[in-house]
Structure formats: structure tokens, C-alpha cells
Amino acid sequence: MRKNIMLLGLLSSLLSSALFSVNVLAATPQELLKQYEAQAKQENPSFAGFSADRGGVFFKTEHTHSTGQQVSCATCHTTDPRKQGKSRANKVIEPMAIIANPQRFTDTAKVEKWFSRNCKDVLERSCTAQEKGDYIQYLISLK
């Protein structure tokens, strides 16, 4: 009897952790957009949707870093996100456009990790939900 209860407890914790990780990690770019939309509405009550055009401008705009360096998302991801990019250490970065790389924007934790890191790198602040959504919308829109 006791053994059964323990087994049941183990099973249910396994199951819930499996469900939890599926919920947290796996996504489609469209599901991610929904999450950022909810956040964007909280950040800005007059939020009026995401724009691929604005995302494209955001992607390519050069910012003068406090170190004096000019940097944009395109610095590493290239001005054509359908192509491979390069990190500062010269490592290949696979394309960002969904059409060229269907793995993109399918892992919430990975997406948040790199937004956090790269927005600090380029803008020296976090990206807003509006900026993240525009960026994803742009990468979805490329054919």
C-alpha cells in the first residue's frame, strides 16, 4: 500500500514536471507573439499590434555604444537574416529568419536568454515586449 502511494507520488511529479517543461519551453513563433502581445498590452495600454516593418528597422538600426562602437542586431545576424551570421568570436550563427531556420522562436527559454543578452549588448538596456514582438514579426514575414 505504502509503496503504491509512493509510486503514485513519483509518477505524478514526473508527469507534472514533464507537462511543465513542455509548457515553458516548447512554442511556435506565433505562440511567442501571443505572450509578448499580452506583455506589451501591460507595458503600454495604447499598444496597437506588432509591425514587421518596424521590426526590420529595429534589426538594422545602428546604435552608438558607450564604448564608441557602432552596433546593431544585424552586426552579428547580418542585414539579410535569411543568411548565416557571425558572432564576435567568428562563430557561425544560423539564420534568424523562420523560412531559413524553422528552429527559431520555438524555445521560450532560449529566446528570452538571447533577447536579454543581445538587447543589453546592442541597446545597453532590455528590449520592450513591443520591440521583441516587432522583431519576431519581421523574421516571420521574410519569404
What Rg do the C-alpha atoms of the chain give, in angstroms? 19
Supply the minimum distance, in Å, between the C-beta of residue 121 and ligand HEC: 5
| Separation in Å, CA 20 to CA 14, 17, 23, 106 | 10, 5, 5, 16
Supply the minimum distance, in Å, between the C-beta of residue 11 and ligand HEC: 33
Rank residues 20 and 114 by Cβ distance to ligand HEC and give the closer one.
Answer: 114
What is the spatial distance between Cα 6 and Cα 2, in angstroms, rounded to a whole number?
A: 6
Supply the minimum distance, in Å, between the C-beta of residue 110 and ligand HEC: 5
Q: Which residues bind ligand HEC (CB under 6 A)?
A: 71, 73, 75-77, 87-88, 93-94, 104-105, 110-111, 114-115, 118-119, 121-122, 135
